Each structure stands twice: as structure tokens, then as C-alpha cells.
Structure 1
């Protein structure tokens, strides 16, 4: 699998936690119980990571890279999946993970954000 750094990168985010959802056969990266990334597979078992992005940014990335598709089994407007066997540059995936984490962090209360960022 490409992107061997993905697990460590997700867990390096302040407050990030990981669990394994057996019924989905997927590893979830979460912040305060809310998911910002999910590592799993499509119906053929091809490995994918799914992240939340601003809708317009997700559309731009899907147009630019054939290995980025609307979120697999997720809301197709906000979630995007990236095939881990594809050819999307590491920096693009890092930006996607950063954006997803940032969107989730921003959705939390100011108090929760402060606790996470200062904790």
C-alpha cells in the first residue's frame, strides 16, 4: 500500500483517536467521537481512505485525479475517497487530511477547540 505514513499522520493530529469498526471492516480516525478519516476498502477490497472536504474543493480534486472519487458509502457532496493504490501525490493527501481534520475541529465548540489545541 502506498501512503504508509497515513496512520501516523492522522494520529499526529491533536486529540486524534483511532478505532476499528468491525462491521465496516474499517479503521476510523476521530476527534471527540466524530470521524475525520476512514481507512477501508471498496466492494472489490481495494484500499481507500475517505475524508470530508469542502464540496467545491472535493469536486476540483475529483476532476483532477482519477483516483479520487465521491465518498464511498458516504454523503457524496461532503465526503471523498482516495484509492491508496493510485497516483495522487502525498502532499495532496496530506492537504485532504488536514482539511478534513480542520473542518471537524471548527465544528466543535470554542471550549472544546481550546481544550484540544492546548491539551
Structure 2
């Protein structure tokens, strides 16, 4: 999953919370710091990912995978509705995990000003 994230234009790794808690941020050349769209960490002994998304998409995935895809762990209440946390043990098929990762990237990219989105296009996002 991390390899897929890092193949996206402007994506880079960060560890803002703890050395074992990996965040993937989206950053354009004109930004000082990127915005998190994915996180990978261990929760109660299980490798998990938290991915940002639209609120309706978050609810759809939670309904598709009840008890597996849950509200974003450790997200502030205002942002928890825009994130899902899920184990990376196969409970969510790889195809859906990739789809959710792409949606997370697109969700954060869409929040950037147009000139920054254009910078990403210049990085190969065509």
C-alpha cells in the first residue's frame, strides 16, 4: 500500500506522531508542509491504515465491511467522519484498498487551491 501511495505525484513519507506511525502526505513544490491522506501504523498488535475520504464514501465502506472498516482512529471528532481505519490483514480486498487509497489522494488533492493542483499536474499527474 505504501508503494502505491508513494507512486502518486507529490506524495512523501512523514512521521509526525511517532516513529512507528507513518503518514503519507501530499505536497506541491510551493507548499512548506503537505497534507496527510494516508497513515499506516500498528494498533493493538495489528497493522492498520487510516485513509481520508468523502463522508458518504466513508459510510459506504463502513457498511460494506462492518466491524472491519471503522471511523478514523485517533482523528479529531470533526475529521473522523472523513477517515476510515482498517486492518491490512486482508479483511478488505486489495482492489478496494487501492481504490480507497486513490480516493484518499484525490480527496486531499481536491482541497488544494487550483494553482497547487496545476503544480501536481506538472509533476506527472496529467
TM-score if structure 2 supplies the norm length?
0.83
- Partners of 1:62 and 1:47 in 2: CA distance: 18
Matched residue SS, 1:49: strand
Runs of 4+ deviating beyond 6 Å: none
Where do residues 104-115 of structure 1 align in structure 2 (5 Å cutoff)?
104-115=108-119
Match of 1:45 in 2: 45
> Which residue of the partner structure matches residue 121 of structure 2?
117
Give the paired residue count.
113
The answer as to whether partners of 1:67 and 1:86 remain within 8 angstroms in 2 is no
Which residue number corresponds to residue 31 of structure 2?
A: none
Note the C-alpha offset of 1:89. Answer: 1.0
Structure 2 match to 1:34 = 35
Tell me the residue number matched to 1:60. Answer: 60
Which runs of 5 or more structure 1 residues have no equivalent in the other structure? 1-5
Q: Which runs of 5+ in 2 are unaligned?
A: 28-33
Residues 87, 22 of structure 1: alpha-carbon distance in 2 compared, 3 angstrom cutoff: same
Q: Structure 1 residues 22, 109: closer, same or farther in 2, change over 3 A?
A: closer
**CA–CA separation in structure 2 for the residues paired with 1:100 and 1:10:** 10
Partner of 1:17: 12
Deviation at 1:22, TM superposition (A): 5.3
CA apart distance, 1:41: 2.1
